[in-house]
Structure 1
């Protein structure tokens, strides 16, 4: 419990990964912090539900083995990342095809993986695999595939500053303007960017899409071992005792104090808002609230092991509500008890009324097996899961509003875990500059919020 007269150098409102990582950076520089969280526990959208030995992420954002801030953020040294099989599986015309960049750094600059069919046996049952003409693939002709490989090679080696200097359009328009064939866009780039950006309509800023492709071509998609909640747990666990206070509702903020419903006024030298965009705007009217991409994650279990291994499976046909799915227990065995498979599937946009039936039918086609006996463990719908990044999108939205008042979160940067952590890095640097506290923290501008792998 906080006493009304409790004072700290900096009060941080919000205990998501942005607020917790900012607290780490400030404490490491000798600045005392108090992190106030209205919810009963820390983490925000990085939450994991535990059901009968399963670990079920609520939003399930994909991470990257090469996100710079995962390496630079104090407190995440013990984080273990579980990578997917390199590349992705694309379901198209009743078959599954593998495409993507090689896993090793040298190969990441090489050509696109050769497309190969994984499910070729014709079947007649509803939702089963059907035969397609030899050579058919969601990436278009062999020439299209070679061009795409060249384009990924080029974007992997392009400096980030040059990507950000390109003209900004909606991603779909930019890809078409560059001469990318429509079949390649719809068969590969659209489902891939939908998985990375939660935007199947490709309305995201082309610069953000380029960064996502740059990341994909250079690294590996992954999930944190143990579930999304591991990130905030690690950050909270290593903060000094008495730093984090949950169940504290902040009702107003100023440059030198915050007012709380439970403990009155708390005085400080600076305030950092690290909440979601809507809560930040409620506390500071005038802050822009972006649009959001809704996300629904549906978790199933079965005693069978669907034959996709540790791959991320995307639907190139858009033949149902599922944008991407994976046997997550094959990627991270800690997420399911022994003898059970955990299949986690993501639905983008507003979910259909008959969600469970529609998802089961779609998954039956994607995996080429009956889902009738699969058990539904949980359905998590988050209407404001991912802030939209439509053009014009400022990748460096100001984190310093005025001396003593700061804001951070994925809505100030890129709408990724990397963006949330990077905005906290920028905000902590700004606070320290204003307070004149150098401590052990390097005050030069931190690395851009650019995922070098996705």
Structure 2
């Protein structure tokens, strides 16, 4: 059986690996010159830079199933975060993940004692729930959910908005509460980490797995069209049941297949399949990568630093404190994330980062802060308002032996992408080819 996978992102690579491991003949066509889609790393002047700030939640079920975490050589963030205002910083640590920092958390004046207890109780409550069950509930905004759980306005404003707003790229916390519960549970039950070689190591590992099972991965080759049931045989061929179930057009070449997995970006998937339910409205962000000499670094530990006073930037990640491999010797690398798509130029955003860091850490010097790179990602996630799951397309939404794979069939996350790839492979294998 011959199968084609259109798109070499996480979903497409996972689908290809499962198909090849089932014994199928698989070809992946990826229009870019690399695999990975929205998950990618590059090296600039000795720094490892992601395609925008990204992390891996190791408790994701699909991550544990599809990836070799030991081989990724993960570097972990310290659970919790530093809440920062001009001239004032405080730590909110995970009571389960960082018990040694309980005193510092108890002394945190930004977050009320009652809110600290509610965090702990919520962790305990979600611990007994199956991840799939968590995702199937929801229906309210995260902001309304937190109010219903009894959290104070101060907690929502100073911690929840910059922290979970940074995860969903929605500081208003208008995202479905099921997404909040799921990610909250995952962070409590696993590590938040990055591979030593960058997030690009994740698609690289998936590609290696697919190739080891026999899949062919062709980069720089875009799928221009997908057609199911177009080559109905006639005459003698029809009598013999000949003819392919589907075809794809790649650079003017027609390739026949028994089944096709469309795992491209949402807009391209819509064009290829005609499935209008694929979400194409999304949220973006801008990541400023900046560097300091090691001797002048502020004391951030390995925690995210949250902007409790505003959203420019929303948060700063001390990447080389977490993963020293991300910066050359003698330098420190930070990622400052702005939500949305700010129109200000790179230099203006860099000035904002320097000014904000200087107010947060008045005891440190930022005279030698250097701009390394800026990533502008207009579409990082699709919108996930309350009830969004009901409107997402099923993998079987296209006609014939064509199925969808992408986080837009599950929810916007690495978990959603990996899980969708497995489901797509199982689905297309179960669909009998139409000849």
State the TM-score, normalizing by the size of structure 2.
Answer: 0.86
Measure how far apart 1:75 and its partner are: 6.7
Find out whether 1:384 has 2:379 as its counterpart: yes
Q: CA deviation at 1:337?
A: 1.3
- C-alpha separation between the residues in 1 aligned to 2:427 and 2:373? 41
| Alignment: residue pair count | 406
Deviation at 1:116, TM superposition (A): 4.2
**Aligned residue for 1:250?**
223
For the residue of structure 2 that corresponds to 1:382, the secondary structure is strand
SS of 2:306 mapped into structure 1: strand
**Pairing 1:316–2:305 present:** no
Equivalent residue number for residue 147 of structure 1:
118
The answer to whether the aligner puts 1:220 opposite 2:191 as a matched pair is yes
Matches within 5 A, 1:1-400: 9-73=2-66, 78-92=71-85, 94-102=87-95, 113-116=102-105, 137-139=109-111, 141-160=112-131, 163-164=134-135, 166-240=137-211, 243-255=216-228, 256-288=245-277, 289-304=279-294, 305-318=297-310, 320-353=311-344, 354-368=348-362, 369-394=364-389, 397-400=393-396
Give the direction of change, closer, same or farther, for the CA distance of 1:167–1:347 in structure 2 (3 Å limit): closer
How far 1:329 moved relative to its partner? Answer: 1.0
Q: Please report how far the alpha carbon of residue 391 of structure 1 lies from its aligned counterpart in structure 2 after TM superposition.
A: 1.8
How far apart are the structure 2 equivalents of 1:75 and 1:151? 30
Q: Secondary structure at the match of 2:389?
A: coil
Partner of 2:71, secondary structure, is coil
Cα deviation, 1:171-212, whole Å, max 9, x if unaligned, reads 112222333211111122222212322221111111111111
Q: CA RMSD in A?
A: 2.5
Deviation at 1:407, TM superposition (A): 0.7
- Does the aligned pair in 2 maintain the 1:226–1:334 contact within 8 Å? yes
> How many Å separate the matches in 1 of 2:260 and 2:158?
47
Quote the Cα distance in structure 1 between the aligned partners of 2:156 and 2:249. 50
Conserved? CA contact 1:92–1:138, under 8 Å: no
- Contact between 1:252 and 1:260, CA under 8 Å: does it hold in 2? yes
- How far apart, in 1, do the equivalents of 2:425 and 2:36 lie? 19
SS at match of 2:256: strand
**Do the aligned residues in 2 keep the contact of 1:309 with 1:330 (CA within 8 Å)?**
yes
| Aligned-pair CA distance for 1:328 | 0.7
Deviation, 1:276, is 1.3
TM-score normalized by structure 1? 0.82
Q: What's the CA shift for 1:284?
A: 2.0
CA distance in 1 between counterparts of 2:96 and 2:120 reads: 15
Q: 1:76 to 1:181 in 2, by over 3 A?
A: closer
- Partner-residue secondary structure (3-state), 1:254: strand
Deviates more, 1:211-220 or 1:200-209: 211-220
Q: 1:186 to 1:115 in 2, by over 3 A?
A: farther
Q: 1:162 to 1:432 in 2, by over 3 A?
A: closer
Shift of 1:350: 2.0
Shift of 1:114: 4.6
**Range 49-58 or range 216-225, more displaced:** 216-225
